[in-house]
Amino acid sequence: MKKKLVVPVVLCLAWTSFVLGEVQGAGESIAKAEVVVEGTVVDDTAITATESSLALFADGQFDPTLTGPIVDHMRATLLCEVVLLDGHQADVSGSRENMIDAVSGLVGNHQGVVALAHLPEDATAHGTFVQAKRVALLNVRGLTGDGGQKQLLSRLKKEAVHAGGLLLGIAPCPNSHCVMWRYKNDEGLDFKGSRFCPPCQRRVRALHGKGG
C-alpha cells in the first residue's frame, strides 16, 4: 500500500498563466513572460494525493531526444518520481482549453501532469497552470528562441521544474537564482537558476518527509 502524501500548499493558484505581452485586467502592461495569477489566492490549504509522483506528457511534435534529460532533471530536482507518458494518450490539437481538458484526463493518481505542447501559433503564453485540473501546459513554440536546441532544452528543464513545483504547492520565489522565480522576459528566463534556492529546497524536502 502506497503511503499517502499530504502536501501543504504555501500558495494555491487557482489559475496561473506564464504570459507574454500585455495582460488584460492585470492593472499593468507586462513586458514578457511574467507569471500572472488570475482568480482567488487561497492560503493554508492542502492537496492530498495517493502517490507522490508527477507525470510528463509530450505531444507528437516534440523532439523525443529531449524528454529524457527533462525527466531526469525533474526527478533530481523535485525529489519525486516522474512518469513519462505516451505522447499518443491524449489529443492535444485545437485550442489551449481543449489541450488542458485532454491532458487533465491523464492525471489519474499523479499529483499532476506537466505537458509539453505546441500551442497554436498565435498563442503568446509560455504556459498555463490550472490548479483545479492539476495540469501545467508549457508552450514549446513560445519557449523556442534563436539559441537552438541547447537553449530550448535549458528553458524546458527550468519551466518543467517550475511547473512541477507549482503542482506540488511551492510558491513563486523572489530569488532570481531560484527556478521558482517569476521572470518577466526571455532574458530573465535564461538568467534564472534551474534548481531551487535553499529555502525552496527545504520546502520540497519537507513535502517528501526528507527534512533538512
For the CA atoms of 139, 141, 145, 148, the dihedral, rounded to the nearest 10 degrees, stands at 110
Q: How far is CA 35 from CA 21, 146, 162, 184, 197, in A?
A: 11, 22, 11, 8, 18
Out of 3.40.50.11900, 3.40.50.720, 3.40.390.10, 3.40.50.300, the CATH code matching 5-200 is 3.40.390.10
Q: For the chain, what are the domain ranges?
A: 5-200
pTM of the model: 0.79
Q: What are phi and psi of 102, to 5 degrees?
A: -65, -45
Cell numbers for 163? 511547473
What letters, b where the CB count within 10 A reaches 16 and e where it falls short, cover 125-136? bbbbbbbebbbb
Q: How far apart are CA 201 and CA 129, in angstroms?
A: 21
Tens of pLDDT along the chain (212 residues) come to 544 444 444 443 333 444 432 222 232 323 345 444 333 333 333 343 334 799 999 999 999 999 999 999 999 999 999 999 998 898 888 888 899 999 999 999 999 999 999 988 888 889 899 999 999 999 999 999 999 999 999 999 999 999 999 999 999 999 999 999 999 899 999 999 999 999 999 999 998 887 66
